[in-house]
Structure 1
């Protein structure tokens, strides 16, 4: 019989990905502040991150810029970002700027 302590932090489920939410309208001036907020929610160690973009209102290139910055920041931290709730308009914009793979990760 073993009473050894399980690996990892107690009370933390490290098998579930972190979920970040991007919603509303993203204006170009909002990108730096929103990026800082999202980056603060990224895990400090390698992990899967889900970014729920289903609440975006009429996606623009500012939203694409925000998602590209988030992806870059996450990769620098060893994380992988997958988008959830990607609507047709956002997928088209991502494809247009060469970031279509982001919507399929």
Structure 2
């Protein structure tokens, strides 16, 4: 897997239409998933972010099934702790 940092797009909706399904999908159970969460695709669709161990072949079929139809964005772990930053600094957010 190439080390690519995902840059989410502005969400098309304030909340995903099926929030309960999304919340259930966030708790991924796979030995190569380090952490997971909610993000958006570059187009603004709601998605699951799966941070995986280095050199993990993706996509992972069991994860794709577990995410109930939401897109899955895989990101290789950088080994650093994530830092919270403003989501859209250009627009004052």
Calculate the TM-score normalised by the size of structure 1. Answer: 0.27
Return the index of the structure with the highest Cα Rg.
1
Could you say which structure has the higher helix fraction? 1
Calculate the TM-score normalised by the size of structure 2. Answer: 0.29
